[in-house]
Amino acid sequence: MPSGSPLPTRIAGVLAIALVAAGACADTAPPSHPRLAPMSTRDIVVSASAAGVIEPITLVEVKSKASGEIVEVRVEEGDEVRPHELLVRVDPRIPVNAVVQAEADSVVSRAELDNAEAQLERAETLHQTDAITDLEYEAAKLARATAYATLIRARRALEDAKIAYEDTEVRAPIAGTVLGRPVEVGTVIASASRDVSGGAVLLRMASLDTVQVRALVDETDIGMIRPAMPVTITVAAYPSRPFRGGVLRIGAEAVVEQNVTMFPVLVRIENRAGLLRPGMNAEVEIHIGEVRDALAVPNAALRAPQDLAAAAALVGLSPADVRRQVADGNETPERPRAAAGTASRSLGGGGAPDRTLFGGEYVVFVRRNGASHAVRVTTGLTDFAYTAVVSGLERTDSVFILPTAGLLDEQQRRDDWIRRRVGGPLGQ
């Protein structure tokens, strides 16, 4: 092709497309060559966010065992009540009459028993002198037993009547807050213990000293959550005042909403001030773990064993060198474990982060004494941008930030495509 002649239109178009694609990649993807970054310390915090609704732990529907008309209601919605405090009074006239009648029946039964016992004493005396027959004596004993049984029934009826009278006064079963009062004075109610429908609900009340949130957590985060992990709860009513709680338990069955699989997580919150109310929408942040002042590396510096060959070429090492350095511990005496931080802890229960959830074994390429080395490291907690290094690196190291294996493959495919489209015609 003459040196001064222009490129064919097709080839020029291909080059233009390739240059545009390369420019777009340069703006949105990491560079295709490695860069060095010094080791640094930072705080690594991992949490999972979810939403839920404030619920009472103990919710009680107060009903009456007595039937009749409500003649008094002593509480309003929102009132705080103590155990056994009088809440509602039902018309007591019929139960009072039943108590009076039962008391009278009990007196009569007592008198009948006294008379039967006296008759039995006389019958015993007469029977000893053969003044009465055996049959008459047995009849006297039966009369005494019958009178005793009648007295017992009368006493039981009296106790039942007193209980029915006491049931006309509906008292608080627990200490708590009245959430709702659907009845008014004059409402006629049926007994909750006798009516097949279970009776009318007089009040709804709950103890709000401790409340709970049933939050739905995405399935991608549920594997990192454990009971007793600390939780921060925020509600719209108090946006600048976070509330502290803890994970109580994790639901066993998933909930699918709009093709998203989530699991319910029950969170307990102390509510001594009574600021949290049932029905409030809550934003839940579950603190999975944190490490303070940790020696950390960018996640782009970590390499899995299957990615070592491609990464080695970028830093000027052969795959054989990398394998030898990793196997020999980088050809240096064993290095002390890197400091995990001046104040490190796992929020899931204290101590070091749970190694079953976080961390693993990776290879990092570092620059030491002017040369590149492959170093095997043990990692800890990660926030998916940076990872804490437990052992293998020092604060004086500089690590290579490398493009991902996927990016390298994509660049190789793009170069091959340009070479196939351009190299043939240009070589003619």
Last residue of one domain, picked from the residues 259, 287, 315: 287
Domain membership flag for residue 4: no
Span 114-158, pLDDT tens digits:
999 999 999 999 988 888 899 999 999 999 999 999 999 999 999
Span 40-81, pLDDT tens digits:
888 888 889 999 999 999 899 999 989 899 999 999 998 999
Which of 297, 296, 267 has its CA nearest to residue 282? Answer: 267
In the predicted model, what is the mean pLDDT of the chain? 81
CATH number reported for the structural domain that contains residue 87 in this entry: 1.10.287.470
Question: Does residue 28 or residue 46 have the better pLDDT?
Answer: 46
Question: Does residue 34 or residue 152 have the better pLDDT?
Answer: 152
The segment with the largest mean pLDDT, out of 326-335, 356-365, 385-394, is 385-394
What is d(CA 249, CA 226) in angstroms, rounded to the nearest whole number?
Answer: 8
Is residue 357 classed as helix, strand or coil in its secondary structure? coil
Domain membership flag for residue 251: yes
**What's the pLDDT score for residue 426?**
40
Domains held by the chain: number: 3
**What's the pLDDT score for residue 197?**
66
Out of 215-229, 264-278, 354-368, least confident range: 354-368
The whole domain housing 72 covers 63-176+184-193
The segment with the largest mean pLDDT, out of 99-103, 305-309, 384-388, 405-409, is 99-103
The segment with the largest mean pLDDT, out of 51-60, 191-200, 343-352, 355-364, is 51-60
Out of 12-26, 61-75, 96-110, 300-314, least confident range: 12-26
**What's the pLDDT score for residue 264?**
93
Question: Does residue 306 or residue 160 have the better pLDDT?
Answer: 160
Same domain, 13 and 40: yes
Domain membership flag for residue 427: no
Same domain, 383 and 305: yes
Last residue of one domain, picked from the residues 193, 228, 261: 193
The percentage of the chain sitting over the pLDDT mark of 90, rounded to a whole number, equals 44
With 50 as the cut, is the pLDDT of residue 307 above it? yes
Same domain, 244 and 362: no
With 70 as the cut, is the pLDDT of residue 343 above it? no
Same domain, 129 and 150: yes
Same domain, 325 and 396: yes
pTM (2 d.p.): 0.63
Same domain, 67 and 146: yes
Overall average pLDDT of the 13-36 stretch: 46
CA angle 165, 169, 174 (to 5 degrees): 130
Domain membership flag for residue 1: no
Same domain, 322 and 401: yes
Question: Does residue 190 or residue 34 have the better pLDDT?
Answer: 190
Span 200-233, pLDDT tens digits:
899 999 999 999 999 999 998 888 899 999 999 9
**What's the pLDDT score for residue 272?**
86
Same domain, 222 and 297: no
The answer to whether 147 and 115 have CB atoms below 8 angstroms apart is yes
Domain membership flag for residue 200: no
Long-range contacts of 3-12 (CB under 8 A, 24+ apart): 8/425, 10/425, 11/421, 11/422, 11/425, 11/426
**What's the pLDDT score for residue 97?**
95
Domain membership flag for residue 269: yes
End-to-end CA distance of the chain: 8
Out of 57-61, 154-158, 369-373, 386-390, least confident range: 369-373
Same domain, 145 and 209: no
CATH number reported for the structural domain that contains residue 239 in this entry: 2.40.30.170
Same domain, 309 and 370: yes
Same domain, 310 and 382: yes
Last residue of one domain, picked from the residues 287, 311, 341: 287
**Could you tell me the pLDDT band of residue 301, with boundaries at 50, 70 and 90?**
confident
Overall average pLDDT of the 171-183 stretch: 92
Which residues are 81's β-sheet partners? 176
**What's the pLDDT score for residue 412?**
57
**What's the pLDDT score for residue 7?**
39
Out of 12-16, 126-130, 316-320, least confident range: 12-16
With 70 as the cut, is the pLDDT of residue 24 above it? no
Domain membership flag for residue 393: yes
Domain membership flag for residue 324: yes
Beta carbons within 8 Å of 354's beta carbon, 6+ residues apart:
226, 289, 346, 348
Same domain, 316 and 403: yes
Which of 206, 211, 207, 205 has its CA nearest to residue 270? Answer: 211
